[in-house]
Amino acid sequence: MAGGALKNGADRPLIGALDIGSSKVSALIVTVDPDGRLRVLGTGQRESRGVKRGYITDMEASEGAVREAVEQAERMSGVTIEDVWASYGAGGLVSDIANVEVELGGHQIEQSDVNELLAAGTGAIDRQGQVVLHANPALYTLDGVHGVVNPVGLHADRLGVDIHVIAADPAPLRNIDLTIRQAHLGVRAIVAAPIASALACLSQEERELGVALIELGAEVTNVSLHAGGMLVGLRSIPLGAKDITDDIACAFGVRRRDAERMKCFHGSAMTSPRDNHEMIEAAGIGAEDGAEPLRISRAQLMTVIRQRVEEITGEVEASLKGLGFTGPVGRQVVLTGGGAELKNIADFMQGVLGRAVRVGRPKAITGLPDAHSGPAFATLVGLAMLAGSGTGDIRDLALGAVKEKKQATGLIGRLVAAMRGA
């Protein structure tokens, strides 16, 4: 079973998940019940420090936030974890498909043939100058015919496989790895955030038929396309919900925390005739105690919010077009991330994009607090689900085809080795 081990010697499998975002660091500790279901033991959350646009910019500050979030989850759960599955949601992610074929001579396909194919696939996934995060076998091909789920028992002259590869630049990954290790935690795996969020928010049918997932984070918006059960395209936009907060703070001369409150409680992506009549009070920056508060109409607030939402939506629309998301009108768009909690933003994007848009919330896990059940925690929940699923990486599968593995080291063992030149 993938996941962390208990330091107190208990035998139950544990999974630690850690999402290091630009606005918050959140941790989740889950166990796997005998029936295979995940059950939450503890959660933790701290304001993010030392992270800008998804990149670590101050290792000491970010390490402190990681340690505090994990310790909070450990106190709640009453257990101690040794390692975590961590997310990576900054720019620089690259997604593509590698194809591998072997000759069979028309005989009936056996499992050993599939194993040989997967072993051959390890040579096709190298990405020069980048670290491969994920290399998952997708559909097989028989004599050039695509879409075969399980080829064992069928006859063919040639057996091929499509391998979905996601790679990233090594330096930002190294910084995440070191930050977590400085918090005295092992790193089980570093997972591309769109992979985790898709697992948490999208149905299998959506992923098969074709869906766009928009993760509106604090400072980064990731746009990913999923089809045939795979992530097939990625774009990162260096804009997010925190930019809306900063716009409000600058426009009205209020502190960021007051701007965030105004956005959350009074903000919306859609305007209303009532906006002109509703007034919002806020303290100006540097205002003395007892000073007259600022009075801002909701219409003024909407104007500021709308400008940034229109910019982000325009960038999303351009990304979708660039990724080729131009098929049938019925194709679904799913909006997740903390920015999806802005009132009416799904309706606004639906009007601009001309496609059905829904807010994606993570699938229910036993014991998940209500506070962690919103779109802001999709990546965190997806990490736990991925860890518990045992989804096979082609490098693990290929290794198992040639020798018995002594220990399932997960993706990070290879990741760290690659980063350190081992």
pLDDT for res 390:
67
pLDDT for res 119:
84
Level-2 CATH architecture, domain 14-91+171-239+312-389? 2-Layer Sandwich (3.30)
Residue 402 tokens, joined:
């040639």
What is the fold, at CATH topology level, of the domain defined by 94-168+392-419?
Dna Ligase; domain 1 (3.30.1490)
pLDDT for res 64:
97
Tell me where in the chain the CATH 3.30.420.40 domain(s) lie: 14-91+171-239+312-389
- Record the pTM: 0.85
Tell me where in the chain the CATH 3.30.1490.110 domain(s) lie: 94-168+392-419
What is the separation of C-alpha 78 from the centre of its chain, rounded to a whole number of angstroms?
Answer: 27
Torsion angle of the four alpha carbons 177, 89, 340, 271, in this order, in degrees rounded to the nearest 10: 120
Q: Name beta bridge partners: 359.
A: 335
pLDDT for res 412:
39
pLDDT for res 40:
96
Residue 319: which of 213, 192, 175, 198 has the closest Cα? 213
Q: Count Cβ atoms below 10 Å from residue 402 Cβ, excluding itself.
A: 10
Contact 48, 242 (CB under 8 A): no
Q: Which long-range contacts (CB under 8 A, 24 or more apart) does 128-131 make?
A: 129/169, 129/170, 130/94, 130/167, 130/168, 130/169, 130/170, 131/167, 131/168, 131/169, 131/170, 131/173, 131/415, 131/418, 131/419
Angle in degrees, 0-180, between the axes of helices 256-266 and 298-322, rounded to the nearest 10: 80
Where helices occur in 253-377 by DSSP H, the ranges are 256-266, 298-322, 345-353
CA angle 165, 166, 172 (to 5 degrees): 150
pLDDT for res 149:
80
pLDDT for res 163:
86
Residue 130 tokens, joined:
């980048």
Backbone angles phi, psi at 176, to 5 degrees: -65, -45
Helix (H) or strand (E) holding 121: helix 111-121
Provide the 8-state DSSP code for 292: P
Binned average pLDDT, 10 residues per bin, the chain of 422 residues: 42 89 96 91 96 94 97 96 94 84 90 87 84 85 86 92 89 95 94 94 90 95 88 91 97 94 95 89 80 90 97 96 76 94 97 94 91 94 89 60 37 41 38
